[in-house]
C-alpha cells in the first residue's frame, strides 16, 4: 500500500515514526533482512514482482543502484517489510569507517545492507545524506536522509 506524501506532520520533537516528510512503503521480503538494513529490488523475480519483493542490498563496489530504502523491521522470505523510501531514518547500518555529517552516501558499496560515504567513481548515484558524523570507533550506525529512489 502506498503512503501519501500530501499531508505532512510538522510538530517538532515527535517520534521519528510520524511523517516528518518521510515516506514508508510495504514490500515483501525474499530473504533475511535485518531491521535498519538497506534493501533493494529483487530482480530475480519476474515481471512487476521485481518492484514488490526486496532483498538486502547486495555489495557493489560502485554502489547498489537497485537500493530502494531502509527496512524498519526484520523479515524473512515471504514476510512484509516496511521500508523508508524517502526521508529520515536513525541508526541505519553503515560501514566501519568514518562518515562526515552532510556526506553523500552510497548503498551497499562496502558491505551488503549498509551505507558508506560515496566516492566520485560511484555509478549508482547518491542514496542518501548523513545527518550526523560517525567516527571509526563508534557503533556502525548513522542517522540519514534517504533520497527518493523508488
Chain segment 81-91, per-residue pLDDT in tens? 999 999 999 99
Residue that wins the pLDDT comparison between 16 and 110? 110
For residues 23-38, give the mean pLDDT. Answer: 97
pTM for the model stands at 0.89
Over residues 106-123, the pLDDT tens digits come to 999 999 999 999 999 899
Q: Which residues contact 84 (CB under 8 A, 6 or more apart)?
A: 22, 23, 24, 69, 70, 72, 146
Q: What pLDDT sits at residue 16?
A: 60
9: pLDDT strictly greater than 60 = no
The residues that bridge with 60 in the sheet, in sequence order, are none
Q: Which residues contact 14 (CB under 8 A, 6 or more apart)?
A: 20
Amino acid at each position: 500500500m502506498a503512503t501519501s506524501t500530501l499531508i505532512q506532520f510538522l510538530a517538532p520533537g515527535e517520534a521519528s515514526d510520524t511523517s516528518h516528510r518521510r515516506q514508508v512503503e510495504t514490500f515483501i521480503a525474499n530473504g533475511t533482512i535485518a531491521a535498519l538494513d538497506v534493501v533493494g529490488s529483487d530482480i530475480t523475480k519476474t515481471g512487476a514482482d521485481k518492484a514488490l519483493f526486496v532483498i538486502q542490498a547486495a555489495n557493489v563496489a560502485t554502489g547498489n543502484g537497485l537500493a530502494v530504502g531502509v527496512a524498519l523491521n526484520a523479515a524473512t522470505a515471504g514476510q512484509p517489510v516496511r521500508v523508508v523510501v524517502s526521508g529520515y531514518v536513525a541508526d541505519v547500518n553503515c560501514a566501519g569507517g568514518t562518515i562526515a555529517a552532510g556526506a553523500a552516501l552510497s548503498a551497499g558499496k562496502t558491505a551488503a545492507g549498509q551505507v558508506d560515504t560515496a566516492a566520485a567513481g560511484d555509478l549508482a548515484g547518491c542514496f542518501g545524506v548523513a545527518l550526523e558524523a560517525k567516527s571509526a570507533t563508534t557503533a556502525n550506525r548513522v542517522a540519514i536522509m534517504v533520497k527518493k529512489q523508488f
